[in-house]
């Protein structure tokens, strides 16, 4: 598993640490100066050790969407409040992409409608987390993320 972190996070952020502890995820340090710079890092990470699944949050979500749009990554993907439109990108999910998008109903940073727009025309599953804010750390505690990963066939290394 590869985790692509958000703009204000990194390889030692809450989600990165949780995914590493429970799933053995690696989190490359994205160059957050631009999506283009982060894409270069993400492309290398996917090529070096092809993951079973990509999980990505906010800025990292925009990077993952770009990887999917380019066809660099075609596997199962979990996007957490992807910042694609916020970053001025028009990338869309490929129609056949196996993607679950988690977005909080109380996200104050990325509008929920951005995720609705992103999944339009694809078979992606948009799951709205009631009361969830932009960080969405609740999905680690309430089992939401673990359930999504399990449904994608990803087995935890440690419960």
Alpha-carbon distance 47 to 126, whole Å? 27
The pLDDT tens digits of the residues spanning 7-17 come to 989 999 999 99
**For residue 104, what are the β-bridge partners?**
129
Q: How confident is the model at residue 159 (pLDDT cuts 50, 70, 90)?
A: low
Residue 108 belongs to what domain range? 2-151
Q: Is 132's pLDDT higher than 90?
A: yes
Residue 159, domain member (yes or no): no
Supply the CATH number for residue 82's domain: 3.40.50.1820
Please tell me the distance from the alpha carbon of residue 66 to that of residue 73, in angstroms, as a whole number: 9
The reply to whether 76 falls in a domain is yes
Range 64-90 average pLDDT: 95
By three-state DSSP, how is residue 137 classified? coil
Instruction: Record the pTM.
Output: 0.96
Our count of domains for the chain comes to 1
């Amino acid at each position: 598993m590869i985790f692509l972190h958000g703009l204000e996070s990194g390889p030692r952020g809450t989600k990165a640490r949780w995914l590493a502890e429970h799933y053995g995820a690696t989190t490359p340090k994205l160059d957050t100066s631009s999506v283009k710079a982060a894409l270069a890092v993400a492309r290398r990470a996917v090529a070096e050790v092809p993951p079973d699944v990509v999980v990505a949050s906010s800025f990292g979500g925009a990077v993952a969407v770009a990887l999917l749009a380019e066809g660099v990554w075609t596997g199962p993907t979990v996007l957490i409040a992807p910042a694609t439109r916020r970053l001025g990108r028009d990338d869309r999910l490929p129609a056949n992409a196996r993607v679950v998008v988690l977005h909080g109903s109380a996200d104050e940073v990325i509008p929920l409608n951005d995720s609705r727009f992103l999944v339009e025309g694809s078979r992606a599953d948009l799951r709205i987390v009631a009361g969830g804010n932009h960080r969405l750390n609740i999905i680690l505690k309430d089992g939401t993320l673990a359930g999504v990963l399990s449904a994608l066939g990803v087995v935890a290394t440690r419960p």
